[in-house]
Amino acid sequence: MSRGRKTGAAECRSGANRKHGYGVSVTRKYKVLFLCRDNSIRSIIAEALLRELAGHRFEAFSAGPEPATRIHPLALAQLRPGISGRTMLSPKSWLEFTGEWAPHMDVVIALDESVSGLHAPVFPGAPLFLDWAIADPLAGGRMSDDEQARLFDKTFWQSVRQVSAFIELPQYAVHAANAVHDARETDDGANPVRGAAAHFEASAISIVP
């Protein structure tokens, strides 16, 4: 691992271990599901980072509507230098998280418009739905190996910043808890209810009314 990546990971872990207020529970883990179309690059990287940086506070998952047959090799290459638990990662269909026995998410995070709250299925538990803007390293079509590697590196570090900011801003937990409470007040629990929607940036979380 490069010195830069070691230093960045250490700083992220240091920040992730700070105590938070804002009514965030310190006794249970919040379940977070990351979504992108084929669940082979961005959502996989985000899942791995959240588990690595704050696995004591979160259970991380990822999925997509058209899961690939394998994780993209360059995404795995980004994770190899310092991310443990890579054997747990694999592309999955988001339908695995919609059934009666699926784990109830607290937060669902869409990494592109194709899997945003308007297009995603209804997940049980009325999770808070966040939209992130993470660059797709394959969006530019054909390119040289060096350029592709550079774009994957950019996506990785953008994901590090977003995940680290998410860990540091605990408001999501309050909104997720309120969404679940409201859903249970208006429904008997037999039917999934769509949760609140929000837009997330590295600098703030603003709830959409």
**Per-residue pLDDT, 123:** 93
**Per-residue pLDDT, 139:** 86
Q: Percent of the chain having pLDDT more than 70?
A: 67
Domain coordinates in residue numbering, the chain: 27-201
pLDDT over 60 at 46, yes or no: yes
Least confident range from 79-83, 154-158, 165-169: namely 79-83
**Per-residue pLDDT, 183:** 53
d(CA 112, CA 132): 7
* Residue that wins the pLDDT comparison between 41 and 204: 41
Burial of 39 (0-12, 13-18, 19+ CB in 10 A): buried
pLDDT in tens, 89-98: 999 999 999 9
Name the pLDDT band for 65 (thresholds 50, 70, 90): very high
What is the value of pTM for the model shown?
Answer: 0.76
Sign of CA pseudo-dihedral 143, 145, 147, 152: positive
Q: Do 151 and 136 contact (CB within 8 A), yes or no?
A: no
Alpha helices per DSSP H over 88-188: 145-168, 171-186
* Residue that wins the pLDDT comparison between 87 and 98: 98
- Compute CA 95 distance to the chain's CA centroid, rounded to the nearest angstrom: 17
The CATH code for residues 27-201 is 3.40.50.2300
pLDDT in tens, 184-203: 455 554 444 455 555 555 54
